[in-house]
Copies of this chain bind each other. A is one copy, B any other.
Amino acid sequence: VKTVTVGLDARSYPIHVGRELLPRAGEYLAQAGCRGRVAVVTNPTVAALYLPALARSLSEAGLDAREVVIPDGEEHKNLRTLGAVYDQLIRAGLERGSWIVALGGGVVGDLAGFAAATFLRGVAFAQIPTTLLAQVDASVGGKTAVNHRAGKNLIGAFYQPRLVLADVDVLRTLPRREFVAGLSEVIKYGIIEDAELFRALENDLGALLAMNSERLTAVIAASCAIKAKVVESDEREEDYRAVLNFGHTVGHALEAATAYRRFLHGEAVAIGIAAASRISVEENLLAETEFARILELLAKAGLPATIPADIDRDKLVRKMEVDKKATGGKVRFVLCAGIGRTRFHWLEPRAIAAKLKDA
């Protein structure tokens, strides 16, 4: 088991990464100060696979677990589901000293985290992420949210968990397509901050795709450590934390332009990574050889790297313009200045699209 600490003074917390963590969750929670009643927020798919083992572990640790099941899918990450979660937390008799545990992927983590941030003005929160994406992304940084009709994650809070358990064993039941999509965030960490991680991915991709636990533990812990370092320097995304958006300006626009139905988040980000890298080459920041390595790694992982021809470029521009991070008509676009390094450029969405017209 590797442990990454997210260092935020009084709100610091550990992320434990490794095998057989879920069946020992009760011990970890009790050791972190969890007592009495605990609400486990999850969805039916994950509950069927992992709730019995988690409930057993919590019970053995003397905790009184109550389950709060929310429907599966991003379309349910909204105020209505949140209201239903509050109702269930009240019925479960949660008090100020109680904990909420999120067992699931990004939707469960974001919504349960926001519920924890706001129920009784904040109760303790732990995450047991069950997707690769949630283990390397949502588990670090305390972004919680629900969606609004007008856009994703428009309502939320920065709220740090007390504990994260990233159990690599649970990734075995993850659909292959979701696992691969999660790899795009791992690849992103290598590109923006860590040439060594990028090389490790080039060397070990086969082992990762074969679900080698040791290699998975290593790259997940490395990814969390990179994101932790960024978040420690700028928790509320006032400046440098925006580096994590590498590949996401185009990625988010692609997701929005296709009504979040065509691509998994990681797939859209992979296309966005390729796009941002291509623009980095055009801006003379990235060598063609390194660009080729990026495209090759995406391809080896089985991730897409080109914007499908049928997607309307004007629609992408409009979606980038309404991005909640846009200011004065420009977006702070993250470019790669050689693998492991970045540069910010303020670009107009139309200029970004123009550079991609042949991509």
Is B327 within 8 A of A121, CB to CB?
no
Chain B residues within an 8 Å CB radius of A83: 79
CA distance A222 to B158 in the complex (A): 33
Give the one of A90, A95, A121, A145 with max B CB within 10 A: A121
CA distance A148 to B121 in the complex (A): 13
Stretch at the interface among A56-64, A112-120, A336-344: A112-120
Whose C-beta in chain B lies nearest to the C-beta of A121?
A: B156
Is B90 within 8 A of A156, CB to CB?
no
Mark A302-323 against chain B: 1 for CB-CB distance below 8 A, else 0.
0000000000000000000000
Q: Which of B122, B157, B236 contacts A118 (CB 8 A)?
A: B157
Is A324 within 8 A of B150, CB to CB?
no
Is B90 within 8 A of A121, CB to CB?
no
Is A155 within 8 A of B118, CB to CB?
yes
**Partner-B contacts on A (CB < 8 A):** 79, 82-83, 86-87, 90, 95-97, 114, 117-122, 143, 145, 148, 150-151, 153-158, 236, 324-325, 327
Is A154 within 8 A of B327, CB to CB?
no
CA distance A153 to B122 in the complex (A): 12
The 5 A-B pairs of least Cβ separation, nearest first, read: A121-B156, A90-B150, A118-B155, A79-B83, A118-B157
Chain B residues within an 8 Å CB radius of A95: 324, 327
CA distance A158 to B96 in the complex (A): 14
Min distance, Cβ A118 to any Cβ of chain B, angstroms: 5
Min distance, Cβ A158 to any Cβ of chain B, angstroms: 6
Min distance, Cβ A249 to any Cβ of chain B, angstroms: 16
Min distance, Cβ A324 to any Cβ of chain B, angstroms: 6
Is A157 within 8 A of B157, CB to CB?
yes
Is A119 within 8 A of B324, CB to CB?
no
Give the one of A96, A97, A114, A143 with max B CB within 10 A: A96
